[in-house]
Amino acid sequence: MDRMDGATAVITGATSGIGLAAAQQMASLGARVVLVGRNQEKLDAAVAGVTEVSTNGKVAGYRADLSSLEQVRRLADELLAGEQRIDVLINNASVLAPERSLSVDGFELTLATNLLSTFLLTNLLMPRLVESAPARIITVSSGGMYTEALDVSGIEMSAEDYGGSAAYARTKRAQVVLTDIWADRLAGTGVVAHSMHPGWVSTPGVAASLPTFRRVMGPLLRNADQGADTIVWLASDSDTLDSSGDFWMDRRPRSKHRLKRTETGDTETGALWEFLCEATGWAPPAGWPESGEAA
């Protein structure tokens, strides 16, 4: 791993599992690490633990429930006020909800947490990322996305057809497409965007949401440090600034599709961007690049 001295890395979902492991590894490489979590007690404990392994003691915590668009906006305001630079933004927070429930804004919870918050937070922080360039956006997706195509009309599952794993996989596919859009629009700005699959990792989230899967696959699952390895490598290695829009696993770019039916066309890609703008109430400010244009 390259050193990260002088860099600031913001990571969501950082109080346990892969997120916490990534925070610890980046802190040991010299980065200022900013942890985002929704539970204050867990956040305080995570900040204390990461501080113990930090080589410079520069660790901060921000509390926000990312299923709430209002809290995402508040978090962005606080980060812009409190962090002079953001060199790395790691969108790691996600949920796999076995039973369908709604966010405070009335969206299906998986969609709100995994996709709407990722879109809104990243776009609100984009000016600071551009100012800090070269900078990186890293979105933690999942191999589950291979099972789903992007269908914007069905991305929010109804009560009648809801399935936790399918809802999760659809948002993870959308994250990969969203990364492609960012990579295209941010070309020439010095900000690169990557998505990645950490492998199948034994985390508290997997234990709570997929207990049978964890019990059957337990001996084959990775630990959190192994799952975080590619995240930290993408955040630190100078070579990962040379490309944008790739999907990574084990430090290697991977195919984004295993099945032809999951391939995404320009029409559906554009529909995703329009849906996310409307759902979150975010509109590109003046100066935001169109497709393929630098800001």
How many independent structural domains does the chain possess?
Answer: 1
Residue 66: pLDDT over 70: yes
For the question of residue 168 being annotated catalytic, the response is yes
Contact 142, 197 (CB under 8 A): yes
For the cut 50, the answer to whether the pLDDT of residue 295 exceeds it is no
Is residue 195 situated within a structural domain? yes
Instruction: Give domain status of residue 68, yes or no.
Output: yes
Domain that holds residue 150: 8-280
d(Cα 8, Cα 79) in Å, to the nearest integer?
A: 11
Does 25 score more than 60 pLDDT?
A: yes
Kindly report which listed range (127-131, 184-188, 269-273, 284-288) carries the lowest average pLDDT score. 284-288
In a domain? residue 292 = no
Q: What percent of the chain has pLDDT over 70?
A: 91
The pLDDT, as a whole number, for residue 140 is 97
How much of the chain exceeds pLDDT 90, in percent? 84
Residue 1 lies in a domain: no
pLDDT for residue 217 = 47
Confidence of residue 49 (pLDDT cuts 50, 70, 90): very high
Of 62, 146, 162, 168, catalytic: 168
Given a cut of 80, is residue 50 above it in pLDDT? yes
Work out the mean pLDDT of the chain and round it to a whole number. Answer: 92
State the sign of the Cα–Cα–Cα–Cα dihedral 160, 165, 167, 170: negative
In a domain, 286, yes or no: no
| pLDDT above 90 for 35 | yes
* CA atoms of 86 and 10, how far apart (whole Å): 7
Q: How far apart are CA 92 and CA 94, in angstroms?
A: 6
- Residue 116 maps to which CATH number? 3.40.50.720
pLDDT at residue 294 above 70? no
Does residue 205 carry a pLDDT above 90? no
Type of residue found at 261 = R
- Residue 267's CB is within 10 A of a number of other CB atoms, namely 9
Q: Is the pLDDT of residue 291 over 70?
A: no
Check residue 200 and give its pLDDT: 75
Q: What is the pLDDT of residue 222?
A: 83
Q: What is the pLDDT of residue 220?
A: 63
Domain membership of residue 295 (yes or no) is no
| Closest by CA position to 92, among listed 137, 149, 152 | 137
pLDDT, tens only, 212-260 = 544 544 556 789 999 999 999 999 999 999 999 999 999 999 999 988 8
> Mean pLDDT, to the nearest integer, of 137-145?
95
Q: What angle do CA 37, 39, 40 make, to 5 degrees?
A: 95
Residue 48 lies in a domain: yes
In a domain, 288, yes or no: no
Q: What angle do CA 7, 9, 14 make, to 5 degrees?
A: 155
